[in-house]
Amino acid sequence: MSLRPFRSIAHPCVRLMLLGQVMCAAAGVAAAAGPRPEMLLFEEPQVTAAAKHSQSLAEAPASVTVITRAEIRRFGYRTLAEALRSVRGFYGSYDRNYSYIGARGFLRPSDYNNRILILVNGHTYNDDVYGMGYVGPEFGIDLEAVERIEVVRGPGSALYGGNAVFAVVNVVTATGQEQPGAHAVVETGSLGRKRGQVSLGHVFSNGLDVFASGSVLELDGNRQLYYPEYNDPTTNNGVAREADAERALNFFLSARSGNLSLQGGVNRRDKYLPTGSYAATFNDPDNQTVDGRDFAELRYTQEPGFGVLVTSRVFYDGLRYHGTYAYGSGADRVTSEDFGTSHWLGGEVQAQRELFPGNSLIAGSEFTYHPAATMENFVLPSGEHFVDDRRSLTTWGLYAQDEFVVLPQLTLVGGLRFDRYYDRLEEVSPRAAALWSPLADTRFKLLYGRAFRPPSVYEQYFEILSQDYGYLSNPQLKPERITTYEVIWEQTLWRRTQATVDLYHYDMSDLIDQAYVDTGDPNLVRVQFQNLASARANGAEFELRVPLSDAVNLRASYSLQEVRAAGGQLLPNSPKHLGNVAALFTWPAGIDTGFELQLLGPRQTLAGRQVGTAAVANLHLRYQTPVRGLGVGAGFYNLFDQRYSDPGGSEHVQDRIRQDGFTFRLQLEYGF
């Protein structure tokens, strides 16, 4: 029995004709279209995440990509994960519960996105129980509210501490000045998609800038999904029916007046689980996860004198996770209720000063108090508890970074951070960079850095024991560590064409993974998180951005990487080849068009099998109608209905998890 994840509404030939018409029209755009003010793939925005202060991409001591608001709109990205998949060297996976992002060939199944640090306007968004960075609908910030996404590759612990192993992703939201007035978006689409979003922005006469955004998402998902691993009459012949739905609520608010700013948000995401993960009863309608994140931050910037700029902030964060997994049937049916909740408070003080012309120093201190990081598990209807763990934790760090312009063509950067986690783990993270520009259009960056990921509360303290199976805690886990060396060549060619060559090597040690513990009894199984492995990688990334005209921009990138464990074996879910081709152009009729082709090379599964190459094309059309403020859009995702799978995690029976075929989204937006 074989069921498609989604039965397309249009024949593949129709979609091919649509793409052909689009590309043919694009050939005449350069001559026919009038000049446009923006060069979307070639804007040179300022970034803050690379050095904790505003600077140009050329000045940043890292390899940085910025996804602008215009690109988000014209490519039709629906989630942060979709936007990040477009970035050179990045790729993603989806297990029908969460979206995951990998970088530079590293994304192990069952990981929690805890090696990429997610920021919202510089505020850490990874949670404190699992260390997870949220990138799917559970992220909680509407992309309509995002002004840009800063992607800083490489280790970032020298400034940010833990979890900044492969990248720092800073989501910068809009202000009332950047998005004034009211805007409303209504969406529909395949898989029963229904979404509404509203934003309000205003700058008052006294200078107070306010921006707010909220949205509601309902997604029915695939009505039926077939998994051959469950192809048995007792498990509905492998068909999960009406088990893929998703609901999400988001709200975000920011305000600023003079040197004082406030931001905060709250969200909830409900996702039903069709895969039978964690050995739950397959096709049971109660299998689901509920996620919520809330945060608030108050920030104040002042210049007390002596050329010092001081930025202080205090913040609050909250996590709410609830997983329900059903087991058994009839009178023996029970549900396992799994909770992860926490609230934490903290603050940071940062000072910046130019010591002498050409030399700038940043130094700061950060402290976080976690009064009750909680994990709980009990069974209904009996109410029997298996896990009830509450931890009071503190983390703090000290950091400094100096930027020294030695010559007009040469800048040296050095940074260091000391962190103390959980009152027992201490880490020192150095960073060094040399930025050399021998010619006006030529830049070289030599980079070195170390970073770490502290073991999460879940990995250290989760313990659940039953008569024959269980998880053991491991409070003595050590942090994962990475050391990276990188050489970047950035060259501006003819007609503003930009070329980038990026070579890197990294070594990882003390990788945390699950292992079976020898109990001496074959009928007694115990699993524990342990520091088990190390890995080494070599990689090369190439990118070319070509402006054919003011109305047509092209981008192409290719990444070659090889990541191997200490024994020489390839890591699971680690593609050797990644590619991306993207085009933005405008028809003479004024239809903005974004086309993207993402190539993902073969990857190994946990069982050692292989998922094949995936070539996924996306097309988005947007038209600003003659009616003032009214725009329409249409997005077509996996345009050619490519059949492909992602490797499953250890919690799944499935070694490979089929992804969605062709889907579409229709959008109506109005600004007033």
> Residue 551: what pLDDT?
72
Question: pLDDT by residue (tens digit) across 319-329?
Answer: 999 999 999 99
Question: pLDDT by residue (tens digit) across 230-279?
Answer: 999 999 999 999 999 999 999 999 999 999 999 999 999 999 999 999 99
In the structure, how many helices (H) and strands (E) does the chain have?
A: 6, 37
Q: 618 — alpha (psi -120 to 50), left (phi > 0) or beta? A: beta
Q: What letter would DSSP give residue 85?
A: H
Against a cut of 0.75, is the pTM above it?
yes
Assigned domain for 6 exists? no
Assigned domain for 136 exists? yes
Confidence band of 588 (pLDDT split at 50, 70, 90): confident
> Residue 36: what pLDDT?
45
Assigned domain for 1 exists? no
Confidence band of 589 (pLDDT split at 50, 70, 90): confident
Q: Give the DSSP H/E element, type plus range, for residue 16.
A: helix 12-27
> Residue 564: what pLDDT?
96
Assigned domain for 5 exists? no
Report helix, strand or coil for 234: helix
Find the domain containing 617 and state its range: 12-671
Distance CA 336, CA 469 (A): 15
Report helix, strand or coil for 269: strand
Q: Give the DSSP H/E element, type plus range, for residue 610.
A: strand 610-611
Question: pLDDT by residue (tens digit) across 154-190?
Answer: 999 999 999 999 999 999 999 999 999 999 999 999 9
Those residues whose C-beta lies under 8 Å from the C-beta of residue 151, and which sit 6 or more positions away, are: 64, 65, 66, 67, 84, 87, 90, 167, 168, 169
Assigned domain for 530 exists? yes
Assigned domain for 561 exists? yes
Assigned domain for 410 exists? yes
Distance CA 34, CA 402 (A): 46
Assigned domain for 2 exists? no
Of the ranges 209-218, 516-525, 530-539, 650-659, which one carries the lowest mean pLDDT score?
516-525
Cα 84 to chain center, whole Å?
A: 6
> Residue 29: what pLDDT?
43
> Residue 158: what pLDDT?
98
Question: pLDDT by residue (tens digit) across 349-399?
Answer: 999 999 999 999 999 999 999 999 999 999 999 999 999 999 999 999 999
> Residue 41: what pLDDT?
52
> Residue 43: what pLDDT?
59
Distance CA 434, CA 445 (A): 6
How many domains are there within the chain? 1
Q: What is the CATH number of the domain that holds 341?
A: 2.40.170.20
Computed over every residue of the chain, the mean pLDDT equals 92
